[in-house]
Chains A and B, each alone.
Chain A
Amino acid sequence: MKSYILPEFLVERDDYRCIRCEVCVRQCAFEAHRYDADEDAVFVDESKCCGCLRCVTLCPTRALTVRRNPTQTPDNYNWTREQLMDAYKQAETGGVLLTGMGCGRELPIYWDRIVLDASQVTNPSIDPLREPMELRTWLGAKPDRLDSQGEGKRRRIEGMGPQLKLETPMMFSAISYGAISYNTCEALARAAAELGTYYNTGEGGLRRDLYKYGRHTICQVASGRFGVHADYLEAAAALEIKIGQGAKPGIGGHLPGEKVSLEISRTRMIPEGSDAISPAPHHDIYSIEDLAQLIYALKEATHWTKPVSVKIAAVHNSAAIASGIVRAGADIVAIDGIRGGTGAAPTRIRDNVGIPIELALAAVDDRLRAEGIRNRASIVVAGGFRNSGDVIKAIALGADAVYLGTPALVAMGCHVCRKCYTGKCNWGIATQDPYLSKRLNPELAARRLVNMINAWSHEIMEMLGGMGINAIESLRGNRLRLRGVGLSREELDILGIKHAGE
């Protein structure tokens, strides 16, 4: 069948600069570039280009330019080029559209409509370069009242559940081995250990080689129960029951059989070459009571030593659901907004289901406070963070910490080309191809991650200092330090913040 799909990008080569080194040919796993020895020329098939910029970045003579294909489809506000191309693709294949990474639609980004406060005259700002500044964060259930027993060093707070200690209120989101390469997992693990924080295995199990980073690992238990084994539960610092994911609320997922290699099969503990199917629900959880049952099953299996988190996608009634989760005994509630990333999701679900994390966070924090149970669980939010400004605003809105997924991948080289589901990530991240995954050196990638988080932490300290605050604790849920700009009364009400100037 003749395809009507226009190439998304144009790949242009400055022939005067090109030295025929074939770097681009080797680097593009989508095989967009081809060298013809007879003609001594490099040709391009732009229909294969996804715009990941790998070739552009590595071309030694900067001979390449990739830009959006300027060909116009007829002007139509309704039938844009994207809508046309998607319809052609489905007419040609009959398939559900797949995509990778988070929703990039023009939904409002509330972080950009919220501004922070700073001290002027009436209370002095603090300079974190010279004065102590505390970012340390503890995640886990806190008791209703402070009662302590014992003396001196033996003094203990009564009723304190197991806690996770974070040196900075940022963790790496759940991304499974299978969706990303082993090297990428290792880089996340190393960086989490060096930073004194945590990374999350996602639902794909944990390779034995990474058990040594267990103290910095949150292990997920999802509906497929992949790799959920006594050793896995014991290796983790905390466990997370994955109910939903911001990129695809309400559905499960499947890792296609051709990606289930020997190593993946061992780690997920499934047959090699079979589809790894995650059912949409956990079939042992049809109610809050059932959720409580799984929470306590995990606690029992790990001898009550580890906090248990429950992760949900941000949806319309997240606040009520979060209340149920806390009452079911979770120590941490993790909420993933509509912009949360993924290795593969049906495009329509990613782009149309769920709500922005800013609104969900504000609603959940309000609800738990109103019910007097906010202390019983920490709130961790995910989905759509791009920089330290977003992170600090989330904490002021009521989050205890954030999960960073896409930013972590970007730190390692991801260009958000959205082709993760093909398994051909040219940056060596979302792939199991040994030739491609070698491109990501875990040590260098860990360095990039550590650099980025350290820089963000420092920026957070600067902003805290600017507000005259010397501990992140004092900003948590302190919405008076936020103001909205250009938001409706309703949005301000939900966010629980005043308008700038008020």
Chain B
Amino acid sequence: MKIDLERMGDPRVFRRDNGHVHIDASELHYRELNAMIKQAALDGATLMEIENVYGQRYIGSGVRLPVRIEIRGIPGNDLGAFMDGPEIVVDRNAQDGVGNTMNSGNIVVHGRAGDIVAMGMRGGSIFIRGSVGYRAAIHMKEYMKHRPVLVIGESCQDFLGEYMAGGVVVVLGLDRDPGQGLRARHVGTGMHGGAIYLRGDIDPHNLGKGVEVSEPEEADLEKLRELVGRFCAYFGGDPAEIMAGGFVKLAPRSKRPYGSLYAY
């Protein structure tokens, strides 16, 4: 397939005014669309509005400038994979692999998202208004000053935070009555770093081995207030009301979950 950057000359597909770019993605292959986004970012665009997105993958990958990409429609898998810098806002649902191995930037999804959201993410932030699928935040990690953040407005499926080695995950459970716990199983299995905050409770049977449940301390609450504040700024809602729901903190007992498995 050839990349048809000539379509960038077609005003029905690609329009530019000042630093703003409008792209009609309805007939574009992901390779064309992403080439346009990269080119526009290199040309100095600061805001891109992309309409009629129908499943194009990898949007935001390979763009290393702090552009804002507004997606109207449903982006395909691996939205923002390896992303390093941009801010992406999706007005509807996203699919699997949002923020896969993401490094920095921000993704805001006004609908729900599929499986492995924030897989291997090591920096930046992701806010999902609705629920997410299986294995969210799997192998999320932090290092030095980099501390990734994933905030989920509603619920998640099993294996949240599997192998998690750092970062912060918040599940607000806004789809549930207060008091009704998260139903997902195997939460935090193999977790060896970072923290998961759940609004409402969780049945200890649904936790992975080696996960410790505690009451959030003041430093945790401060972080939560900041993140809930951002959540409400994106999607509306009353931060105080959400905070009032009460949180539990999940953290690993050890940084070395498999330290005693081997015979040396």
Contact = CB atoms under 8 A, between A and B. Distances in A.
A302 B163 CA distance: 27
A223 B34 CA distance: 25
Contact of B120 (A98, A225, A273, A421): A225
Interface stretch (B142-150, B175-183, B215-223, B225-233): B142-150
Given A95-B260, A233-B82, A269 B190 contact: no
B103 A229 contact: yes
A256 interface: yes
B165 interface: yes
B interface: dominant SS: loop
Given A93-B263, A224-B139, A228-B120, A273 B255 contact: yes
A98 B264 contact: yes
A284 B263 contact: no
Contacts of B78: 284, 293, 297
B72 interface: no
B165 A228 contact: no
Contacts of B82: 228-230, 233, 297-298, 301
Interface stretch (B10-18, B47-55, B57-65, B243-251): B57-65
B25 to A, nearest CB: 15
B227 to A, nearest CB: 20
Contacts of A298: 82
B264 A257 contact: no
A254 interface: yes
B192 A300 contact: no
Interface string A291-304: 00100111011111
Contacts of B258: 254, 275, 277
Contacts of B97: 284, 293
A367 interface: no
Interface string B50-87: 00000001100110100000000000011001101000
Contacts of A283: 116, 119, 135, 138-139, 162
Interface in A219-238: 223-225, 228-230, 233
B65 to A, nearest CB: 11
Nearest to A347: B263
Contacts of A284: 78, 96-97, 100, 116, 119
B263 A95 contact: yes
A413 interface: no
Interface string B138-172: 11011110100000000000000011011000000
A65 B146 CA distance: 52
A230 B143 contact: no
Interface residues of A, number: 46
A422 interface: yes
B166 A98 contact: no
Given A225-B120, A283-B116, A275 B256 contact: yes
Interface string B84-105: 1000000000001100110100
A90 interface: yes
B80 to A, nearest CB: 10
A266 B116 contact: no
A497 to B, nearest CB: 40
A279 interface: yes
Contact of A271 (B84, B119, B141): B141
Contacts of A297: 57-58, 61, 78, 81-82, 100
B122 interface: yes
A95 B143 contact: no
A257 B139 CA distance: 16
A96 interface: yes
Contact of A269 (B135, B141, B261): B141
Nearest to B35: A303
Given A96-B263, A274-B255, A293-B78, A269 B122 contact: yes
A346 B264 CA distance: 11
Q: Which of B77, B81, B120: most chain A Cβ within 10 A? A: B120
A290 B142 CA distance: 26
A363 to B, nearest CB: 32
Contacts of A447: none
Contacts of A271: 141-143, 165-166, 193, 255
B101 A279 contact: no
Contacts of B166: 270-271, 274
Contacts of A302: 62
B110 interface: no
B257 interface: yes
A257 to B, nearest CB: 5
A233 B58 CA distance: 15
Interface in B184-201: 190, 192-193
B17 to A, nearest CB: 26
A21 interface: no
A275 B259 contact: yes
A106 to B, nearest CB: 24
Nearest to B134: A283
A303 B38 CA distance: 9
Contacts of A157: none
A23 interface: no
A98 B141 contact: no
A138 to B, nearest CB: 23
B180 to A, nearest CB: 28
A89 interface: yes
A303 B61 CA distance: 9
A300 B62 contact: yes
Nearest to A230: B84
Given A265-B143, A297-B81, A302-B62, A274 B57 contact: no
A98 B81 contact: no
A210 B257 CA distance: 31
A274 B193 contact: yes
Interface string A66-105: 0000000000000000000000011011111110000000
Contacts of B81: 297, 300-301
B256 A225 contact: no
Interface of A: 89-90, 92-98, 223-225, 228-230, 233, 254, 256-257, 265-266, 268-277, 279, 283-284, 293, 296-298, 300-304, 346, 421-422
Given A230-B82, A266-B143, A274-B255, 11 more contacts: A94-B263, A95-B262, A229-B84, A233-B82, A269-B122, A271-B142, A275-B257, A275-B259, A277-B139, A284-B97, A300-B57
11 contacts: A98-B264, A225-B101, A257-B259, A265-B143, A270-B142, A272-B143, A275-B257, A283-B138, A283-B162, A301-B82, A422-B264
Task: List the 3 closest pairs (A to B, CB-CB), nearest first.
Answer: A95-B263, A225-B120, A93-B263
